[in-house]
Structure 1
Amino acid sequence: MYRPRGTERERLREDIVNLLQSYGVRAQHVGQAFSQRNGLHPTDLQALMAVMQAEGDGTPLTPGRLGEELGLSSGATTAVIDRLERAGHLRRSRESADRRMVHLRYGEPGKALAVAFFGPLGRRTDEVMRDFTDEDLATVRRFLAGMGDALEAHHHEVRTAD
């Protein structure tokens, strides 16, 4: 049954929500393909993404912070780190005077696999972004940051409600 859509803003909101959902599913498919190709568990991929992002932000993760981000116990976090370290995807690094403090870094073999797999996607996203002005991209960045914050707040709320 056809239902006329509401105002232009309502139509835009619905389209944006649908596009975000579709993007999320497609991104999961790409992540699953990378995981399967490289013998990674989905949690391993989440860990690698968290380590990569933190390292890129200049705030490398400790094992404890990684566990918090992934919602894993200490033992499960250690198992993920051990698997990823054995495979060369990440490495433990002692960078401070306190030798007990361990940071997690993306391993060179893992970087090479990621570049080989995700490089073509990076080129495709660059092509898409060329069609947008700097102002457009700044608006998109602000929007996605806000949506990410809303998603994280909801995740925190439902995770702690159990």
Structure 2
Amino acid sequence: MPSADAQRSAFASLLQELHDATMQAGFVTARRMNLSTTDAAAIEHIALAAVPIGPAELSVRLGVTRSSATEIIDRLVRSGHIQRRRDEADGRRFRLVPTDEARDLVAVELAPLEHRVEEIGASFTVQQQRVITEFLEAVATAHREFATDGKPER
């Protein structure tokens, strides 16, 4: 059995491989969508968000300034990929909503990958799936905490 240090190193190494593979998949997806990687990532964040996000959250997710996010949003609005809609709860704010065409584009491009990931997940027992889920949730939390220096996200 590997030592705790070797195990941590293996986890870190595998997570780095996953990160690299995810980035490569993002580059390919952008190319297939005929968009820059930043614009494609923005559309994915907007189309896949559980609830509509605003410009400030998009800037955080993309790691760009708010002014850069505004330029990206303007480009995506002009190209018909997203719309700005007033927030119903706070009329001063806007939410970013993908057009049906953009949602379909993202779904078509990501469907093969999502299908393959589902197949892989289904190859594990229910108990293994629970452990994997707990692990991935904890890793995601650790990354978010690292990104905010342990401060709650805004």
The amino acid of 1:138's aligned partner reads R
CA offset at residue 80 of structure 1?
0.6
Stretch of structure 1 that moved more, 146-155 or 116-125? 146-155
| 1:83-162 equivalence runs, <5 A | 83-96=75-88, 98-157=90-149
Q: Does 1:26 align with 2:24?
A: no
Query: What TM-score does the superposition give when structure 1 sets the normalisation length?
Result: 0.77
Verify the 8 A CA contact 1:91 1:105 in the aligned structure 2.
Answer: yes
- Secondary structure class of the residue paired with 1:137: helix
Give the distance between the partners of 1:119 and 1:70, measured in 2 at CA.
22
Larger Rg: 1
Classify 1:68/1:122 alpha carbon distance in 2 versus 1 (closer, same or farther; 3 Å).
closer
Runs of 4+ in 1 over 6 A off after TM superposition: none
Aligned CA distance change for structure 1 residues 20 and 71 (closer, same or farther; 3 Å):
closer
1:48–1:106: 8 Å Cα contact kept in structure 2? yes
CA distance in 1, matches of 2:83, 2:42: 12
Indicate the SS of the match to 1:105. Answer: strand
Question: Number of residues paired by the alignment?
Answer: 149
Q: Using the alignment, how far apart are the partners of 2:48 and 2:33 within structure 1?
A: 20
User: Cα distance 1:84–1:140, how it changes in 2: closer, same or farther (>3 A)?
Assistant: same
Task: Structure 1: state its 5+ residue gaps.
Answer: 158-162
**Which structure is richer in relative contact order (CA contacts within 8 A, separation 6 or more)?**
2
TM-score normalised over the length of structure 2 = 0.81
2:62 corresponds to 1:67? no
> Cα deviation per residue 1:18-74 (whole Å; 9 max; x = unaligned)?
2211111111111001112223222223322332343x2x3x211123223334333
- Is 2:47–2:102's contact at 8 Å kept on the other side of the alignment? no
> C-alpha distance in 2, partners of 1:95/1:110?
20
